[in-house]
Amino acid sequence: MQFVADLHVHTVASGHAYSTVLEIARAAADRKLAMIALTDHGPGMPGGPHPYHFSNQVVIPAELFGVRILKGIEANVMDRDGRLDLDEGRLAKMDIVLAGLHTYCAPYGTVEENTTMMINAMKNPWVDVIVHPGNPEYQVDLEAVVKAAVRYDVALEINNSSLTVSRQGSAPYCHTLAGLAKTYGAKLIVGSDSHFALSVGDFGAAAALLAAEGIGPEMVLNTSLERIFAHLRRRTNRRHSF
């Protein structure tokens, strides 16, 4: 499976990542990617940037080294109502909005409580992708999550980092998620969740998982710029037109 974009990448602004925008863009160009999304954590994450960071992304060029740059966020879900850690005014100006449950931000709960929290985040009008929903730290009813993703037209991520260096124990949940996505027709993305430039565009473990589950490129948004643009265009009043 060929990927044209990495839609989940962190810069030094996240507080626990180690590369600059220029270093990341160069790495993406070396990987022959056509697009990356800068998705630093929201301000609710310890060490995360101030909300003004996201407003000021307008200063970043739309293209670097031949790679298109989307200005986004990995927002943190902060409570069981699905509230995110950036106001909707700023979220509306993002090219792409990822949202996820993270330690130190989202409360731990039962499977039912975690499921409700994740689905409530999907109801936010600006959320495009739920990241690492296979994280065993926040176990959810994966069938309910996949059905809700279809209902609210939100993509679900197969996170390569979860299968390699973080969120140990994610693999069986990600396999189940991929199988359910195939059954119900949910949109997927593959994200590197890169926190260092050399891992930008590293999708090896996630690609192997998708192959094992019989997932074709037509289900994965970041195998095609057209699929990415079509997904982002469903929000008609974004700052940019794609």
Write down all domains in the chain, each with its CATH number in brackets.
5-233 (3.20.20.140)
Across 151-213, the runs of DSSP E, i.e. the strands, are 155-159, 188-191
Sign of torsion, CA 134 166 156 127?
positive
172 pLDDT more than 80: yes
242 pLDDT more than 90: no
239: confidence class by pLDDT, cuts 50, 70, 90: low
Which residue shows structure tokens 């057209």?
226
* Arithmetic mean of pLDDT over the chain: 96
Q: Which whole number is the average pLDDT over 202-217?
A: 98
Residue 3 token pair: 């990927």
220 pLDDT more than 70: yes
Query: Tell me, what's the pLDDT at 235?
Result: 78
Give the separation between CA 48 and CA 197, rounded to whole angstroms. Answer: 18
Q: pLDDT tens digit string along 18-70? A: 999 999 999 999 999 999 999 999 999 999 999 999 999 999 999 999 999 99
Give the separation between CA 116 and CA 177, rounded to whole angstroms. Answer: 17
Predicted TM-score (pTM) of the model is 0.97
Q: Which whole number is the average pLDDT over 215-222?
A: 98
Q: pLDDT tens digit string along 87-142? A: 999 999 999 999 999 999 999 999 999 999 999 999 999 999 999 999 999 999 99
